[in-house]
Amino acid sequence: MASLPKRIIKETEKLVSDPVPGITAEPHDDNLRYFQVTIEGPEQSPYEDGVFELELYLPDDYPMEAPKVRFLTRIYHPNIDRLGRICLDVLKTNWSPALQIRTVLLSIQALLASPNPNDPLANDVAEDWIKNEEGAKAKAREWTRSFAKKKPE
């Protein structure tokens, strides 16, 4: 493996020394470009009280290329599909090398707080969300209870 760019080392150190509230990201021992991530569901969202696991990978071209992020925990969300793929502009076309792991994870947390059914990735979830928002949110809460880990009190 090519040597790890200084930028990645710096970001990793910062994530450890100054963690984002409600978010953890730890690099894998064998591959320092691969991160084990957890995000707490935002308060007053259907995902409240759940802790979601994600994986994050920094491609070789990072930071010129966006990190690859995927939910490992199943989640009922119009912008996240069954495979855990996330529809988020900053992970795709709106990526900028000035963004960081930290800011990407914050964006994902924000996406949990405000789902956008008008630009869906999981079409069935989005339809449900538009037709019957309360029902969809109830289902999201139910999924959170059954799949996500409990938030430590």
Contacting residues toward other proteins, per CB under 8 A: 6-7, 10-11, 63-64, 94, 96-99
Rounded CA separation 70/55 (Å)? 5
Is 87 an active-site residue? Answer: yes
- Cα 8 from chain centroid? 19
Q: Which is nearer to other proteins, 75 or 111 (CB)?
A: 111
**Which residues have a Cβ under 8 Å from the Cβ of 34 and sit 6 or more positions away?**
27, 28, 55, 56, 57, 58
Which one of 32, 72, 87, 113 is the catalytic residue? 87
**Residues listed for the chain:** 153
Q: Which is nearer to other proteins, 64 or 138 (CB)?
A: 64
Q: Which is nearer to other proteins, 93 or 146 (CB)?
A: 93
Rounded CA separation 138/121 (Å)? 20
H-type alpha helices, the chain = 6-17, 101-113, 123-131, 133-147
Question: Where in the sequence numbering do the catalytic residues fall?
Answer: 87
